[in-house]
Amino acid sequence: MVELYEGSLNVPEILTRWYADEAEHNYGAYIPFVGTVREEDGIEGLSFDVYEPILTAWFEAWVAKAAPMGATLKMAHSRGDVLVHESSYIAAVFSPKRRVALETIEKFVEDFKASAPIWKYDLKNGARIYAAERSTPISGAGLLGSNE
């Protein structure tokens, strides 16, 4: 299940709870990735729109892909405004051995950046500005403009 929160994430609470949830499941590795908003280009923070139905389907497909490797995935993300030095994203992998967890967290986070239906905005001078240059078209984009 994807955990969605209004505003910034309570990182210690989430990481501790996930650790406790899986503590008795014989995993040898727990690798969390925490995304924190950096001070850059004078932004006050970032803001996010999330489209939950497709995000959930994307995440569940990853859970199914990780399961045969013995790995469990977890994810939390913010909606709305997250200020500089607060965190908006946590992904984590649990697996019996470190190699699967290390490889899976990289692939999972990279595919998240390319595919998850989440839109980012800079908060600057009181405005909410779509981060167009930093955004990636989802695979298959442009269908409506094609002639196939």
Partner 1 sequence: MVTIEFLGPIQKAAITMEAASLRDVAEVLKQDSELAQWIESCAVAVNDTLVGSLDTPLKSGDKVSLLPPVCGG
State which of residues 51, 67, 99, 107 lies at the interface with partner 1 (CB under 8 A): 51
Asked if 115 touches partner 1 (CB under 8 A), the answer is: yes
CB atoms within 10 A of CB 99: 11
Asked if 100 touches partner 1 (CB under 8 A), the answer is: no
- Can you tell me whether residue 108 is helix, strand or coil? helix
- 26 secondary structure, DSSP code: T
Q: What are φ and ψ of residue 129, in 5° steps?
A: -115, 120
Residue pair 47/128 in contact by the 8 Å Cβ criterion: yes
Asked if 23 touches partner 1 (CB under 8 A), the answer is: no
Asked if 40 touches partner 1 (CB under 8 A), the answer is: no
Residue pair 79/3 in contact by the 8 Å Cβ criterion: no
CA distance 97 to 76: 23
CA distance 143 to 120: 23
Asked if 131 touches partner 1 (CB under 8 A), the answer is: yes
Asked if 118 touches partner 1 (CB under 8 A), the answer is: yes
Asked if 49 touches partner 1 (CB under 8 A), the answer is: yes
Residue pair 81/45 in contact by the 8 Å Cβ criterion: yes
State which of residues 8, 88, 95, 104 lies at the interface with partner 1 (CB under 8 A): 88
State which of residues 86, 120, 124, 125 lies at the interface with partner 1 (CB under 8 A): 120
Size of residue set near partner 1 by CB under 8 A: 39
Q: Judged by CB, which is closer to partner 1: 126, or 137?
A: 137
**Given the rule CB under 8 A, which residues bind partner 1?**
35, 48-51, 53-54, 57, 77, 88-89, 109, 112-121, 130-132, 134-146, 148
